[in-house]
A and B are shown apart, each in its own frame.
Chain A
Amino acid sequence: MTFLATVWLVVRKDLLVELRSREILYTTVFFAVSCVLVFSFGFVRDGQPIDGAAAGILWIAIAFSGTLALGRTFERERQSETLRALLLAPVDRPALYVAKLVGVLVLLLAVEALVVPLVGILFQAPVLRAPWTLAALLVAGTIGFACVGTLFAAMLVRARSRDVLLPVLLYPVTVPVIIAGVRGTAALLQADPDAAMARAWLSLLVFFDVIFITLSLWVFEPLMTE
């Protein structure tokens, strides 16, 4: 079976399971919305959001709900011992990683499709001012966060205290993604938008994605071999 065929089969399986229950999608979306609300109480003064709050809250919501989605995705595989079956299948291990990554990305991008307009409305942020650059920042940032997250969540399936260890391991490593995402988005949303700055942060994100996807593909096999 070719690499892409394996990826497609596993992605389709994951999306079918998710479509039937919609458990992770609904809980993650609701969690992201709750995050935005909770943070808005901290960053809105006299009915006006403080400068740059929208970008920060958006990315915190993505990072927090992303962690939740990653944990749930692999918890599902663990509960029914299906991860072991997947790993036993005579297919390329890196294909399994890519499939899981695509599944998490689809889920997170669906969450963002709801959270971005919500942040735009609640914080009077001009999210439609440069839609393509903003979309590129969101996609590149989500890939960066999810590519490290998928690897860590997959390897933590076998570990004790995995629920708390995932954010503890993931956040320090994804700090560049969060900084680049927040600063790039803030450069687009501020009163005097700075498109060149946003593109500079976007290039950092793309560079991060390339390096960390390569590293993940490289170490997935030795990490997942017992």
Chain B
Amino acid sequence: MRDQGSGISSPSYAFPALAVLTAAALAYAPVMIAQAPVESTMLLVQKIFYFHVPAWFVMFTGAFTCGIASGIYLFTRSRNADRYALTGAELAVVFGLIGLTTGPIWARKAWGIWWDWDAKLTLALIVWLTFIAYLLLRRYGGPGSDRLAAGVGLFGAANIPFVYYSVNWWRTIHPKTSVVPSLGPGMRGTFWFCVLAFMLLMTLLVAARVHLERQRDRLDQLYLAAEDDL
């Protein structure tokens, strides 16, 4: 298959700059979190929220990236779109795991239980499982499974609103989405700074991962070319 993205083979200069910026943002985030005012009812345990919610932002961005890129890949066969789809799914799984780890730690303190079948938890778990399934298919589906996985990625992303409505009608006790606008001034700045840091981290990981896949494809092509020469 022809590689439409092979024009860019060396990493861009923006990459080191982005890496430094992300590292700085992530290094400063704990300082800001430590200085943010302590929440009056949940006290210290509330601070996990500054990493928990941004992790979910990244997970859903990854999931929708995978869905959109999968759709583009199915119809244009663009290798680049497939790389973005794979990256989106991997990020959704990794950051979903961060969300699913930090959530129960907080819930144990705030609700007294590790897990509750609340709407947002269930939604996150199902979306997470969908993208694990996507990666399993790519890993174990054999040749051609990248295109089959694109079907799953597209359906998984299209399914998110349905899962959202069905589990929402089913039940809900999660803090409302209105938590974010209702934050105190000290907390709001810290929160959005953490979101920014996580989004920078996501961009960095996407760039690195897509570059890696591109290099892999180039390597495969070089092997094939070398075999042809023999």
Contact = CB atoms under 8 A, between A and B. Distances in A.
Interface stretch (B35-43, B101-109, B140-148, B221-229): B140-148
A172 B126 contact: yes
Interface string A146-177: 00100110011011110001001100110110
Contacts of B169: 183, 200-201, 204
A59 interface: no
Interface string B113-132: 00000000000001101100
A148 B155 contact: yes
Interface stretch (B1-9, B53-61, B160-168, B203-211): B160-168
B158 interface: yes
Contact of A159 (B71, B145, B156, B170): B145
Interface residues of B, number: 32
A172 B129 contact: yes
A212 B162 CA distance: 11
B74 A222 contact: yes
Contacts, number: 91
A176 B144 contact: no
A164 B154 CA distance: 20
A159 B163 contact: no
Nearest to A168: B133
A82 B56 CA distance: 45
A145 interface: no
Contacts of A88: none
A195 interface: no
Interface in A190-226: 200-201, 204, 207-208, 211-212, 215, 219, 222-223, 226
Interface in B55-91: 71, 74-75
Contacts of A32: none
B155 A161 contact: no
Nearest to A178: B166
Secondary structure at chain B's binding surface: helix, strand, loop or mixed?
helix
Contacts of B137: 159, 165, 168-169
A75 to B, nearest CB: 16
Contact of B155 (A156, A159, A165, A212): A212
Given A165-B141, A222-B75, A176 B163 contact: yes
A187 to B, nearest CB: 11
A180 interface: yes
B195 interface: no
A208 B162 contact: yes
A80 to B, nearest CB: 21
B151 interface: yes
B136 interface: yes
A176 B166 contact: yes
B9 to A, nearest CB: 28
Contacts of B126: 172, 175
B130 A172 contact: yes
A168 B166 CA distance: 20
B133 A161 contact: no
Contact of B151 (A151, A204, A211): A151
Nearest to A167: B133
Given A172-B129, A176-B162, A208-B162, A219 B154 contact: yes
14 contacts: A151-B151, A159-B141, A159-B144, A159-B148, A160-B141, A161-B142, A165-B136, A172-B130, A179-B167, A179-B170, A183-B169, A212-B155, A215-B158, A219-B154
Interface of A: 148, 151-152, 155-156, 158-161, 165, 168-169, 172-173, 175-176, 179-180, 183, 200-201, 204, 207-208, 211-212, 215, 219, 222-223, 226
Given A175-B126, A183-B169, 9 more contacts: A152-B151, A158-B148, A172-B129, A172-B133, A176-B166, A179-B167, A204-B165, A208-B162, A219-B154
